[in-house]
Structure 1
């Protein structure tokens, strides 16, 4: 079956989740933040994801903005950072995350090849709208799908169901792309063809599915999609 639809995770895949803390580190905040922003960004992201999994497992859903705030609060407290205005500034910058540099050209190539493109994300609709608009890639996406439509975070199967419901395609017609190893493995187990953007060089997660392709960044996604189309 040929690939007809390319679906992308948003945070960490199209958008650099460390860019909010990195941008703030270039501003005149206390040295304790500037010296440790990378650790704060990493712990913020880790807690953000952990809270999605825990909420999904417990049936205690809240939107992604809530877990983003909660994860940041944990990370700042872990570093004993209580700086007036810093929390608010980091959250403001999260609405304007940088897209990875290869994103516009990659999406443009997919659209030129006649493929459908979309985001499927844990993000709330408002958060995703802000990120997509800030990156200037709205016109390169056919849809932005949020877990808020089903009220549970990835990797619940009902989230991946949203792709078939929107595009009317078979699972094997979809190339699902994520930087999150657990997300790719779950999507592969669901029946999507998958590409893992393994920017950190991490081991493959031991889960119920495995990625079809592993890449360093998004540059080769059009080539991967075209190879799948030709099969």
Structure 2
């Protein structure tokens, strides 16, 4: 069946999760942070994801803003930069204004011009996602922004992927699901979506029951893939 609906993960897929730390590292007076920012950005993202998985397993859900703060606190403490409340506040402020990857606006416009449904499906809380969408200026090329807060558990729980069919009244084989997280693309493939893993870092494939269907280095090829 032809693809009718393109669904995107948000953080790391449409929005550059390292941009907050990168911007702070370039600001005057942040020379100490600048020496640590790549590792902090990496640990911040890793702990953020780990906390979503652990909370899902133990059944103690909280929203994505809380795990974002918890992940940052761990990363700052690991680099012994946890005694600067202004640094923490600045990093968290910028997380509401993450930069979109350069190819995102044109890619989404192309999908909409082709008559496809477009939406975000994310672990992010609705207010965080709306802030990022507005900051990136892509709200006019998205039909919806779906958050796990509707079901109270993080991806890759199958009830999260159920939200797509409920919203767009489409079958699983009409959906192209796009994520920069290999585990997310793999889990969505196992669920029944056609999936594309945007593997910007050239990482190995996660050892999971299902593999992504397509492998890309950025998002520019998504419109062609959706039409194939």
Per-residue deviation, residues 75-96 of structure 1 (Å, max 9, x unmatched): 0000111224000000000000
Question: Is the counterpart of residue 91 in structure 1 residue 107 in structure 2?
Answer: no
Q: Are residues 1:188 and 2:189 paired?
A: yes
SS of residue matched to 2:178: strand
* Cα drift, residue 36 of structure 1: 1.2
Unaligned stretches of 5+ residues in structure 1: none
SS in 2 for 1:117: strand
- What corresponds to 2:35 in structure 1? 35
Inter-partner Cα distance in structure 2 for 1:43 and 1:90: 14
The Cα of 1:121 is off from its aligned counterpart by 0.1
Name the counterpart of 1:73: 73
Q: 1:129-168 residue pairs with structure 2 within 5 A?
A: 129-168=130-169
Aligned partner of residue 144 in structure 1, secondary structure: strand
**RMSD value over aligned CA atoms?**
0.6
Q: Equivalents in 1 of 2:200, 2:120: separation in Å? A: 19
**1:156-198 CA distance string (max 9 Å, x none):** 0000000000000000000000000000000000000000000
User: Normalization by structure 2: what TM-score?
Assistant: 0.98
Query: Could you list the runs of 5+ residues in structure 2 that have no partner in the other structure?
Result: none
- 1:29 CA drift (Å): 3.6
Kindly provide the CA deviation profile for residues 33-78 of structure 1, in whole angstroms up to 9, marking residues without a partner as x. Answer: 1111111000000000000000000001000000000000000000
Q: CA separation in 2, counterparts of 1:45 and 1:84?
A: 19
User: Partner of 1:118 in structure 2?
Assistant: 119
Residue 174 of structure 1 corresponds to: 175
Deviation at 1:28, TM superposition (A): 2.3
Question: Matched residues in 1 for 2:16 and 2:140: separation?
Answer: 20
Q: Give the alignment's TM-score, normalised by structure 1.
A: 0.97
